[in-house]
A and B are shown apart, each in its own frame.
Chain A
Amino acid sequence: MAVLVSLIVGLGLFFIIGFAARAGLRAAAPARHRPMFRDMPLTASFGLAVILVYVVVAILAPVIAPFGEGEVLGDQYLPWAAPHYLGTDKLGRDMLTRLIFGARNTVGIAFATTALAFVAGSVLGIWAALAGGWLDQGLSRLVDALMAIPALIFSLLLLTIFGTSVLTLILVIAAVDATRVYRLARSVAQGIVVMDYIEAARLRGEGNWHLIRREILPNAMAPLVAEFGLRFCFVFLSISALSFLGLGIKPPTADWGSMVRENATLITFGDITPLLPAGAIALLTVAVNFVVDWQLQRASGLKE
């Protein structure tokens, strides 16, 4: 019964937010962009609205959070009532505050990591496909070797050797993710470099960098963007999995991945506390990918 009610409420919210966001974006967008928003599906406008809210929350975290990030305010696991609207966590810190600061830390780290992984992975991948020969073989073997080591164990090794600051965390997860992006980019690019227009461009004497930027990347964009949407969200999960091994972000910094892990045993009793950070991650994942899908569809030129 509770599931049904929350499903209906959720769907209702989805439509209201979706419609409102679409109307808002249409009104707010500059004239030349208006057509883009006119055909926007509800899912995409919902996604955009959610992302917008997250970004605002992340930027304004210290302003809107009712308490300090690491402040211990009272007893643990207080019920949902003012002034702790979402109760307190196991140390007696305000849950809402932790979630708000979590948005800033988690989204920031996830974005930095994914962007880094994509720049490195896709450029190298396409370059390898384009150049072929020994460069391709060398890079591919190295990436194969790194990918063949399970990500969790690879991160464990690297983080234990280099220490666990936020920077190493970003670099290590980006390095692990970049190998995955490399593989995808290379395989997609391999399908493109055999196309006639690439041959033509080569014959025109265009350099590799031009080919990557002008000819291959635009045509390889769709699967890469789809991958971006997923990789972005996997970063939260990586942090969460690393906190499984005690390697996450340093306290008292709040991040959703570790927050899920901290309270995970409560799920066994059907307690919803751990669902809050997990739900925050899920909502963002769904939102980002809805927007990605919309862009994907626009890029493919399909109108229906």
Chain B
Amino acid sequence: MTEIWRMIGQRLLLGMLTLFIISVVIFGATELLPGDLARELLGQSATEETLAALREQLGLNDPAPVRYWNWLTGVLQGDFGVSMATQKPISELVGTRLGNTLFLALYAAALSVPLSLLLGVLAALWRNSVFDRASNALALTAISFPEFFVAYILILWLAQTGLFPSMVRITGATTTGDLLYSAFLPALTLTLVVTAHMMRMTRAAIINLLASPYIEMARLKGMSPMRVVLHHAVPNALAPIINVVALNLAYLITGVVVVEVVFVYPGLGQLMIDAVTNRDIPVVQAIALIFASAYVLLNLLADVLSTVTNPRLMHRT
């Protein structure tokens, strides 16, 4: 077990490195984008004079490396700074949005992960049956429509008929129960979007193993197909399945901006797009780091789990 702990420690350190790389990449990319915050804030009505005044006020006249260094030293002391556009502390801006994003991601994951694992295992078990083909075709159809399109169709069927609200409003008085009800459509949209991927990888990973000699052996011993799949195939297919699940979970946290826009859900994705459009670099950086941390942690978890399920990997990490 100590090797696993060593691996986790090592990976966490590397995770920090990843975060550092990301902060440089994001800062550099946002710097390369034409235009700056002052121009975006003033919009079409900007004149050279007001631009200069605003740039001075926002401290945009410092050279880029200086601004990056100031930002980095701040972050290392736990201070993410203030939004340049609103002058509000970033922790305040991001806090509630992060909660909303995590809620929606967990909600969608709670629906989609069990569903896709179940469908994947059943499809592998009854491969080539009508069930396999139908669930496959349905899942594929669901993911071949763009997210906003799935969302519009769900709204047409489930919201215009009055079953569910077409948009999410979160106020101070919103209870978890209300939220579960009003966020059902976005969660369902995301479920439809990610299920096919996870389901198909589960099915593929299991089927891939079914031709292995040891499975053949188990089958020859007269085990039922169900037992063969559950006891012999699934445990060995876990590594790729876990990886795909981790990827999709990360997607549910970081990639749902379109769903946020359609359902007017106040999450981090929209905040990040806003910040990029406005070149509000501290906010972009903070959200990029949150997304990256989620991603690094989920992948670390996936790798640890893969290693645990396939101990032969450990000696190579």
**A and B, direct touch (CB closer than 8 Å):** yes
CB distance from A51 to the nearest CB of B (A): 14
Contact pattern, A 205-242, Cβ under 8 Å of B = 1, otherwise 0: 00000000000000000110011001001101100110
Whether B240 and A241, one on each chain, are in contact in the complex, defined by CB atoms closer than 8 angstroms, is no
User: How many Å lie between the Cα of A159 and that of B243 in the bound state?
Assistant: 29
CB of A27 within 8 A of chain B?
A: no
Q: Which of B109-140 contact A (CB under 8 A)?
A: 127-128, 133, 136-137, 140
- Confirm or deny: A6 has a beta carbon within 8 angstroms of a beta carbon on chain B: no
Find the B residue at minimum CB distance from A147.
Answer: B295
- Judge whether A85 is part of the interface by a CB distance below 8 angstroms: no
Q: Check: B210 CB closer than 8 A to any chain A CB.
A: yes
Nearest-Cβ distance from residue A294 to partner chain B, whole angstroms? 10
The verdict on B152 contacting chain A, using a C-beta distance below 8 Å, is yes
CB-contact partner of B136 in A190, A234, A293, A302, under 8 A: A293
User: Which residues of A have CB within 8 Å of B296?
Assistant: 144, 148
CB distance from A150 to the nearest CB of B (A): 4
Q: Is A301 an interface residue (CB 8 A)?
A: yes
Q: Which residues of chain A are near B128, meaning CB under 8 Å?
A: 41, 297, 304
Given contacts A148-B296, A226-B200, A285-B140, whether A300 and B208 have CB atoms under 8 Å apart is yes
Pairwise interchain contact B127-A297, C-beta atoms closer than 8 A: yes
Which chain B residues numbered 216 to 270 have a C-beta less than 8 Å away from chain A?
239-240, 243-244, 247, 250, 254-255, 257-258, 269
Min Cβ gap A183→B in Å is: 7
Contacts of A156 in B (CB 8 A): 273, 276
Category for how many chain A residues contact B:
35 or more
**A274 and B136 form a contact (CB under 8 A):** no
Cβ-defined contact, A264 with B197, below 8 A: no
Q: Is the CB of B210 within 8 A of A302?
A: yes
The CA-CA distance from A282 to B143 in the complex, in Å, is 8
Q: A150-B257, A223-B204, A282-B144 are in contact. Are A180 and B247 (CB under 8 A)?
A: yes
CB-defined contacts of A149 to chain B, threshold 8 Å: 22, 25-26, 254, 288, 291-292
Closest chain A CB from B36 CB (angstroms): 13
Whether A226 contacts B312 in the complex (CB less than 8 A), given A141-B21, A148-B18, A260-B146, comes out as no
Residues from chain A with a CB closer than 8 A to the CB of B137 are: 43, 286, 290
Please report the total number of B residues contacting A with Cβ < 8 Å: 68
Q: Is the CB of B133 within 8 A of A187?
A: no
Interchain Cβ contacts under 8 Å between A and B, 8 examples: A153-B257, A184-B244, A237-B144, A240-B146, A260-B149, A274-B149, A285-B143, A300-B208
Binding site for A on B (CB under 8 A): 14, 17-18, 21-22, 25-26, 29-30, 32-34, 127-128, 133, 136-137, 140-141, 143-149, 152-153, 155-156, 160, 196-197, 200-201, 204-205, 207-208, 210-211, 239-240, 243-244, 247, 250, 254-255, 257-258, 269, 272-273, 276, 288, 291-292, 294-296, 299, 306, 310, 312-313, 315-316
Known: A144-B18, A226-B200, A261-B146. 20 other contacts (CB 8 A): A145-B22, A148-B18, A153-B276, A160-B34, A183-B243, A183-B247, A187-B239, A191-B239, A191-B240, A194-B315, A194-B316, A223-B201, A227-B201, A230-B196, A260-B145, A260-B149, A264-B152, A267-B152, A289-B200, A301-B211
